[in-house]
Every structure is written in structure tokens, then in C-alpha cells.
Amino acid sequence: MNLNVAWFGVLAFTLAVYAVLDGFDLGLGTIHLLLGRTREERTRLIDSIGPVWNGNEVWLLAAGGSMVVAFPNLYAASFSGFYLALMLVLWLLLLRGLGIEFRHQIHHPMWEDAWDVVFAGASALLALLFGVAFGNVLHGVPFEAPGEFRGSFTVLLNPFSLVAGGLSVATLALHGACWAALKTDGPLQARARRFAAVLWIAAAVLLAVMIAASFAVRPEFTKNFRAQPLLLVLPLGALALLIVNRLAIARGHDRQAFMTSSGYIAAVLAAAAAGLYPMLLPAAPGSAAGGLDIYNAAAPAGSLRIALVIYLLGLAIVSVYLVNVYRVWRGKAVGVYR
């Protein structure tokens, strides 16, 4: 297989796994203050992600490492053009971790409430920023010269990317509500199911708006799907999973609801990757130069080959670890993580 194509698949796979795994604890944080009516309920919600949230973030590090070793030009352009946004992401990741871990250090109402606010605010802003970044990748960014992208908030916060940000917040909040319904019981579980039903509507509406806007902003996005009709199974599969997710929520099938929300997120990102291929960071209309693809952004073939072997070994180790953690901490969260 072509190494450039293989690494495109690796990067897309890693980002999709991160979105699914860290997505539910980001979503849970987004609705944390609304879903948990009492301090005890909010503790149970934190406990449900306590053993796994830091392991979930490993996939974000893996995605960043994949960019460095496989597509260094993409890494350089992205981390320069998105510099301020990426600094915000790093600080928000730090604050979210502090919110989870510091909350349990002092059992005092004011202390716990303050860290709950930090956790919820950081989670919501992260979900928004990730969606805005995703929207800009689909929209394209201005390149001043080959490989030179200089972004600013006025460029990044365009209407299309803000719709993508809203879609990200709604979708991850839905994912988090499905997780909460799976991991809790009693009144908190019933409330999580109601939240999921409402958030499903918001996610579905924003998805429709995003799809309609995509045709206007980047009509060539459908080129790969027209050339390879089999790729249509990805967007159609995403829509099917979203519908099944709604049925599972209505019937109280919490495990099915969570699994279908996971599959829906993965299918949406896979469809986006299929539409973008072979582009990694497209150029916006009117740019002075073209964007970055899997060839002009790639490292030498020797580096790609060695890095792929190392990545696959690391993937095996991380996968075994994560499967074991989720197996040990399966079941309801009832004050198990203090």
C-alpha cells in the first residue's frame, strides 16, 4: 500500500477514536451543571469518567505525534496558523483535568462547586473549538504561499466554522448524555435520557444545516463520492446510526444508544475524510497557493515506513490497556472514584 495513503488512514482513524472516546467525557462536562441537580449527582457523573478520561486523551497526543512524523508540513502550517486556538486548547485541557482531579481534594461545597464550573466551562469550550477547527478544515484556510498559512480569529471564526462548532457541542453533549444514561441509574439516569432526546434534535438540525452549508462553501467535496459511489456508505451509515440512536434513546436501550452515538461520530468523521482525500488542509477560495495534501506535506518514505511500524506497536499496547480499563470499570458509577 502507498505509505502516504496509509498514513492518511492512520491520522483519520486516530482522530476518530479520540472524538469517540474523549467525546463522551467532553460532552458530559458540557452538560455537567445542567444534568447534575445536586452535588452528589455531579459527583456520580465525575465518577463515571474518572478512571478513563486521561487515557482517552492519549489519542489526541497520538494524532499530534502522527502529524509530526508523517506530515511535518501540515504540523508546521497548522500549529502556526492555529497557534492562538491551539494554546487555548492546551489551557482548556489543563483546566478540565484540574477540575476533575482537584474537585476530590477538599470536601467543601464552595470548593467542589468552583471546580465543577471549571470542568463544565472548559469542556464546553473545547467541544466548540474542536468543531471550529473541523469546520475550517472542511472550509479551507487562506494560504499566502505553498505551505504558509497565517490564521487569525477573524479568519477562523467564519459562519461555516461556527455552525461546525455548534454541531460539535450538540453532538458531543448528546454522546455524553448517552454515556450518563448508561453509567447511572434512578432519577439521574431518567434525566440523562430526557437530555439525550432533546440534544438529539439539536444535533440533527445542526447536521442538516452543516450539510446544506457544505454544498455552498465547498461544492467539490462530493467529487470523491461521485467517482467512488461505494463511499456513500459512510454518510448514509452516519444518518442510519443517528436514526437508530433516536430509537434507542426513546426505548431506554442505553447501551445501544451509546454505541450508535459512537458509531455516528466515527462515520461522520470517516465521511469527511473520504470527501477531503487526498487533501489534508485545503486552501480557501482566492488563496495565493494551493493547500496541503498527503504528498506535499509528507515526510520521506523511509521515515513514513519506520514511523508506521512504531505506531502500530504503540497502538497495540494502548488498545490492550484501554480495553482492560473499560472492562475493569464496567457497570454503573456509584461513588467508585474518590
Query: Is the per-residue pLDDT at 149 higher than 90?
Result: no
- CA distances to 22, 54, 89, 306 from 196, rounded to whole Å, are 18, 24, 26, 44
- In the predicted model, what is the mean pLDDT of residues 213-233? 92
Query: Is the per-residue pLDDT at 247 higher than 90?
Result: yes
- Enumerate the β-bridge partners of residue 338: none
pLDDT of the residue at 166: 97
pLDDT of the residue at 1: 59
pLDDT band with cut points at 50, 70 and 90 for residue 336: very low
User: For residue 165, how many other CB atoms are within 10 A of its CB?
Assistant: 23
Query: Is the per-residue pLDDT at 335 higher than 60?
Result: no
User: What mean pLDDT value characterizes the chain?
Assistant: 92
- In the predicted model, what is the mean pLDDT of residues 169-182? 98
Query: Is the per-residue pLDDT at 227 higher than 90?
Result: yes
- CA distances to 85, 137, 151, 182, 218 from 131, rounded to whole Å, are 12, 10, 16, 25, 17
- In the predicted model, what is the mean pLDDT of residues 141-155? 74
